[in-house]
Amino acid sequence: MIKHRKFFTHIKWALLLTIGVAVGCGSKADHLNKEGLHLYNKRKYDEAIVAFKKALDTDQKHYDAHFNLGAAYYAKNMADESISEMKKAIEVNPDEPKAYYNIAFAYIIKEKVDDAIAAYKKAIALYAAKKDKKEAEGYLYLAVAYSLIERHEESFNTCKKALEINPELADGHYFLGVCYYKKNLYDDAIAALKKAAELNPKEVKPHSILLTIYEKLGKTDEVIEERKIIRQLEMEMRER
């Protein structure tokens, strides 16, 4: 069985390591927030938390410091603290989508999937208003959230919506392949997973599911080829 919580684990670093934001005009709070971001991107989360808190001591209404502090807590698996800071960011600026987008990940950790779904929907609406491509990613994560509570048809349709908005979303094709696989629609699953591998040729996970499908179908040549690809990719990952 495909564990969709692992899908969230896989993608969360891509999200959280890109939290850098434009720094303001050089206020003390802006300077401390920038210092925190520098530490965060080095994965020095405890030191980053100290810097973000200092920024907030200077300016309690600093949206980015609340947001970034919430992201740092999330990186340390401190979901309750992350939720608290993301809520404070939302209070400061309820029209900025990224805090809704990130609070949903913390809700998933807390197994509050309904709250996560509501947050994703809010983020999607705000990103759509901005014509921001993160709208597509929001639909993808919403699809995964639906799958966690076994709303599979909604999950499938929401994933397809993500790909309508951004056909180049590699993780979208991967998850669509997973959905087809669970429906036993193997030809469709293979096509989606091959597209995911084409868009992200360094990623192992589409090939892992392709291997499983080919084994089920008894396609020996394809099994051998997928195993070869997986070994090569894993070797390259170790050498990085």
| pLDDT reported for residue 63 | 96
| pLDDT reported for residue 49 | 97
| pLDDT reported for residue 8 | 52
Tell me which of 1.25.40.10, 2.60.120.10, 3.30.950.10, 3.40.50.880 is the CATH number of domain 167-240: 1.25.40.10
Tokens of 111: 């197994």
Tokens of 161: 């919506």
pTM: 0.84
| pLDDT reported for residue 7 | 52
Asked if 85 contacts 73 with a C-beta cutoff of 8 angstroms, the reply is yes
| pLDDT reported for residue 70 | 96
Q: How many CB atoms lie within 10 A of CB 89?
A: 25
- The enclosing H or E element of 155 equals helix 152-165
Q: How many CB atoms lie within 10 A of CB 229?
A: 18
| pLDDT reported for residue 6 | 52
| pLDDT reported for residue 207 | 97
Which residues of the chain form CATH 1.25.40.10? 1-20+27-158, 167-240
Rounded Cα distance, 126 and 145, in Å: 19
Q: How many CB atoms lie within 10 A of CB 196?
A: 26
| pLDDT reported for residue 238 | 86
Encode the chain (240 residues) as per-residue pLDDT tens digits: 334 545 554 444 334 434 444 344 458 999 999 999 999 999 999 999 999 999 999 999 999 999 999 999 999 999 999 999 999 999 999 999 999 999 999 999 999 999 999 999 999 999 999 999 899 999 999 999 999 999 999 999 999 999 999 999 999 999 999 999 999 999 999 999 999 999 999 999 999 999 999 999 999 999 999 999 999 999 988 887
Q: Does domain 1-20+27-158 have CATH number 3.60.15.10?
A: no
| pLDDT reported for residue 167 | 97
| pLDDT reported for residue 219 | 97
Tokens of 140: 């993808």
